[in-house]
Homo-oligomer: A and B are copies of this chain.
Amino acid sequence: MTQTHNQPCAIAQALNIFGDNWTWLIIREAFYGVSRFSEFQRNIGIAKNLLSNRLSTLVEQGIFEKKNVGENGTRYSYHLTPKGAALRTPLFAILLWGNEYISGDGNEAVLLTERNTGRQLTTMSLVSESGEPIEPNDVRAIAGPGANQEILDKFENARNLKKQK
């Protein structure tokens, strides 16, 4: 990666990990059950040195766990940690968006379904503590405890803009 973001915003931080052309595909393959270097490489067509780099940083970041398999040799497996498995949500969100706005209805390469009923799942939503879906319009982003001055200003500013309207 060519420049690292040092904003405290979690999006910027996440981009330091995922802000490239390959990492999400590696994660995707992991969800499909891929765990070996050569399998990742074949399935996504990434150059070996890049895959090597990416996997190292993903291991560093605690997203993959690297294990020795096969006695005490040079064979390894890469598995998602809980932190990595939690990427299921953003990954699915991207998939659903792409299905709707890029592939289009009837052209989706991969669908999400409910296991029991087999029904297709097409929407994702924030849910309240009591388990109710929240409409996008009912969601507000606010500065959190880790905000810096820039973020505080930004939300202050956003509030003022709304007031004026």
Q: Point out which of A13, A28, A144, A148 has the most chain B C-beta atoms below 10 A from its C-beta.
A: A144
CB contact list, A86-123 vs B, under 8 A: 86-103, 106-116, 119, 121, 123
Taken together as a complex, chains A and B put the C-alpha atoms of A9 and B44 apart, in Å, by 11
Q: A142 touches which one: B5, B106, B110, B161 (CB < 8 A)?
A: B110
A32 to chain B, nearest CB (A): 6
> Interface size on A (CB < 8 Å)?
85
Q: Which of A52-60, A70-78, A130-138 contacts B (4 or more CB under 8 A)?
A: A130-138
B11, B115, B123: which contacts A139 (Cβ < 8 A)?
B115
Nearest CB to that of A46 among chain B residues? B3
